[in-house]
A = this chain, B = another copy of it.
Amino acid sequence: MAKIQDVARCAGVGLGTVSRVLNNEKGVSEETRANVLKAIEMLNYKRNSLGVSLRKNKNMIVALLVPIIDHPFFSKLAYFIEDELDKNGYSVIVSSSQSRQSKEYAMIEKLKRKDVDGIIFVTHYDYKDEELSKFPVVSIDRHFDDVPFVTSDNFDSSVKACEWLVGKGCEKIAYIGGKTLVESEVMERERAYRTVMEKHGLPVIVKSEVIKHGEEGPLVEALFEENDGLDGVFASGDAMTNMIISHCEKNNINIPEDLKVVSYDGVEMKTGELKNKIAFIAQPIEQLARESVKVLLGKINNEKVALRTQIAASFLKYED
C-alpha cells in the first residue's frame, strides 16, 4: 500500500506538499499540484485515515446509543441521524444498550478513549457524576445536569391531546405510561394530563410504573381491572397502545365508541383495522435527529450550544 512518502518521492516533492494537495489547500503551484496528482494516480494512493486521526486527534465518528435499534422509533432516528452526520463527513456507530447500563458505560469509555468523537444518547439511566457535560454528548428526551438535550414538546402536545378527549365528551380518562428512572421529558405527558383533568374537574387516574420493554401488558390489565367504565385513555407510547388494543379486542370494548384512545408516538402502532380510530401525537423524529446532530457537532467544535432544544410535536386526530 503506497503511503504519502512514496507519493512525495514519485512526484519529487516534499511530504508537506503532498499533504497540501491531498487537503485541497491553497498555496500550491498548479504545476506541482498536477505532478502530485499524477503520482497519486500512478501509485493508486489512498490516504490512510488512521494517520490522519492520530494527528488530528479526531476520527470523524460519532456514536448513537439507543435502547434497541430494532424498534421503529429508534431505527428511524438512526436513519436521519446517519443522514445528517454523513452530510457533515461523519460516520455513526450504532449501539443497542439493551437497557444494560454497562453497555452505556462501555460507550462512554470509548468516548474517553477517542474511539468516537461524540455520543448521541437515548437512555433511561442517570449520569450525574460522570462529568458527561465535559465531553461532546447530546441526550434525546432525557435531561442530566449540563448535558445538552433535544426533545419534542411533550407538555403542549399532551395538553392538546387531553383537551381533545375532554372535548369528545370523555369523563373518565386515564393516563398510562412507563416511568423512567431519571427526570425525563416524558414525565411532561403525565403532568399535562393532570393539568387538564384538574382544570375540568375530572378524576385523575394514573397508571405509571417503571417497566421494561415488553412488560406493558400487565400494566394495561391492571389499569382496566382497577378502573371500571373508562371512556378515554391517554397512552404514553405505542407499545402501551398496542396492549390497550389487545385488551379491547379480548373484552369487546369498541374503539372509539366505548373508549377513545390517544397514543403518543404513532410510529409502531399495529393499527390495522384501527387505523383512523386512534388519535396520536407524532414525534418529529426527523427533526429530533437532525437537531441532535447539529447540537453535537456544535459541542465537538467547541461552540456554545443551547442546553435545551425543543421541537414541536404534532397532534393528529382521526377523521370522524
List residues of A whose CB falls within 8 A of some B CB. Answer: 46-51, 53-54, 57, 59-61, 63, 68-72, 74-76, 78-79, 82-83, 86, 91-96, 103, 109-110, 112-115, 270-273
Contacts and interface: CB of A to CB of B under 8 A. Distances in A.
Contacts of A57: 50
Contacts of A103: 86
A84 to B, nearest CB: 12
A83 B109 CA distance: 18
Contacts of A46: 109, 112-113
Nearest to A44: B112
Contact of A82 (B95, B112, B113, B271): B95
B49 A115 contact: yes
26 contacts: A48-B113, A49-B110, A49-B113, A49-B114, A50-B53, A50-B54, A50-B57, A50-B59, A51-B54, A53-B53, A54-B54, A60-B115, A69-B82, A70-B75, A70-B76, A71-B75, A72-B72, A79-B96, A82-B96, A83-B96, A86-B95, A86-B103, A91-B95, A91-B115, A92-B95, A271-B272
As for how many copies of this chain the complex holds, the number is 2
A109 B44 CA distance: 12
Shortest beta-carbon contacts, A-B, top 10:
A272-B272, A75-B75, A70-B79, A94-B94, A50-B54, A70-B75, A54-B54, A49-B113, A49-B115, A91-B93
Contacts of A74: 75
Given A63-B91, A69-B69, 9 more contacts: A46-B113, A69-B79, A70-B76, A72-B72, A82-B94, A86-B103, A92-B93, A272-B273, A273-B273
A51 B53 CA distance: 9
A207 to B, nearest CB: 26
Nearest to A274: B272
